Structure 1
Amino acid sequence: MKPIEQFPEHSRKNIRYVLTDIDDTLTLKGRLPAVAFITMERLRKAGIHVIPITGRPAGWCDHIARMWPVDGVVGENGALYFWFDEEEQKLKKRFFDPEDIRANKRQNLKLIREEILASVPGSAVASDQRYRETDLAIDYCEDVEPLDRKAVDQICNIFKKHGATCKVSSIHVNGWFGDYDKLKMTKIFVHERWGLDLDANKEQFLFC
């Protein structure tokens, strides 16, 4: 990420949407500092939309969309977006897959989970797994002793062997069935929520 000083002022003035990761971007050593929360609130008051883009679970996204000073959240690596409709005072949810397909995929992920836990010593199911709707998160350094690169690669290979997509974050290896990702769902969210084509309006978006 480049220093803010290298961001030209004329480009800054075009920004209307800030897309941000959460873990190790908004957070510091696993905590959300007050300055990050205050900054999101100040951005919204200035008329700039704030949208966290995360691999964290649906349960967390429910809380984030309701309670944080944000305009919505894309979660589970692009499986969903949630936003709070302030006029109706209701949480709105959008999933990439309908519930019956999500349920079937969850059953298939259970088989992968058992194979990973049996094959990769020291790995564990992430502590936030019970709040997930669509993916399997394997902890390799959040609440377990950090695993080496070989172990992480082994986890990825098991996911791939079963035809699942996988992504290594700073704390977890996430795996899911489907061709969605964070960018694809972000584009869907921006289009459905504001009627914007992200690619055609890149100058209005900042990802940090």
Structure 2
Amino acid sequence: MRPLSQSPVEDRRKISVVLTDIDDTLTEHGRLPAKAYSALERLKQAGFIVAPVTGRPAGWCDLIARQWPVDGVVGENGAFFFRYEDEKRRLTRHYAKSADERRRDAERLASIREAVLAEVPGAAVAADQAYREADLAIDFCEDVPPLAKADVQRIVGIFERFGATAKISSIHVNGWFGGYDKLSTSRLFLKTCFGIDIDRDSHRIAFAGDSPNDSPMFGFFPNSVGVANVLDFGDDLPAPPAYVAKGRGADGFAELADMLIAAKGQEWTTAG
């Protein structure tokens, strides 16, 4: 992982898409500060395609797609993407699994929920679970006292014992049934909505994140960026980002936005 300031300017100039995690990447202590929202808006105004890629639930993502200055959102770690088209006044929803499949999965996830609550004292179902459509989120530090790393790993182990996929974010363990993740649904979102092939055009895309569930994105995109708090996870990242911002959370994301907008301005100046 190299400092973000060492990323080549010529690489920054090629970037036209910015994907970003939300919790502890855009937020500070659970809040979205003005500097992060402003950074999203400034990126949009500068002509970038912008989309959060998050573990947060469908209910939140509906609002984000409609009201934030973004081009769409990938939610529940890849369970779906939502896109609101202003000119059509229409919200498009695309799911990785059918409604019937999600209903069957919910029954299986209920068994996992009971096992986690029985076997890991202090763990709790995430407060945003009521707004989820495809996964189960177990809180280990958002609204409960922080659990030890060993307990977090026990939660992961219970999901896997039932045959589910489990990923650790900065606040939750998210689990689901299916082979999708943040990367696979980001691929589908960009192809479907913008005709962008991320395998061919990965150099055009920057991704910002902070935790182990961002590793599929970190490992794929050559211009992946961790905000500084990604370093808190040490060796627990299956794949690290290429670069690390100086700032934590929203400060680090604003740092990335400033660099990309400045590079785009230099490109426009040179072209002019």
TM-score scaled by length of structure 1: 0.97
Measured in 1, the distance between the counterparts of 2:169 and 2:200 equals 28
Q: Does 1:133 align with 2:170?
A: no
Measured in 1, the distance between the counterparts of 2:38 and 2:2 equals 22
Residue aligning to 1:28: 28
Amino acid at match of 2:111: L
Equivalent residue runs for 1:23-172 within 5 Å: 23-172=23-172
Per the alignment, in what secondary structure is the counterpart of residue 84 of structure 1? strand
Residue aligning to 1:197: 197
Measured in 2, the distance between the counterparts of 1:137 and 1:2 equals 32
- How much has 1:196 moved relative to structure 2? 1.4
Measured in 2, the distance between the counterparts of 1:177 and 1:44 equals 34
Amino acid at match of 1:182: K
Measured in 2, the distance between the counterparts of 1:18 and 1:153 equals 31
Give unpaired runs (5+ residues) of structure 2. Answer: 209-272
Note the alpha carbon deviations across 1:123-180, whole angstroms, 9 max, x for none: 1000000000000000001100111112111111111110000001110001100000
Measured in 2, the distance between the counterparts of 1:13 and 1:144 equals 43
- How much has 1:119 moved relative to structure 2? 1.1
The number of residues matched between the two structures is 208
Amino acid at match of 2:76: E
Residue aligning to 1:15: 15
Per the alignment, in what secondary structure is the counterpart of residue 14 of structure 2? coil
Amino acid at match of 2:51: I
Per the alignment, in what secondary structure is the counterpart of residue 81 of structure 1? strand
Residue aligning to 2:185: 185
Residue aligning to 2:174: 174
Amino acid at match of 1:104: R
Amino acid at match of 1:193: C
- Could you say what the CA RMSD is over the residues aligned between the two structures, in angstroms? 1.0
- How much has 1:4 moved relative to structure 2? 3.9
Per the alignment, in what secondary structure is the counterpart of residue 78 of structure 1? coil
TM-score scaled by length of structure 2: 0.75
Give unpaired runs (5+ residues) of structure 1. Answer: none
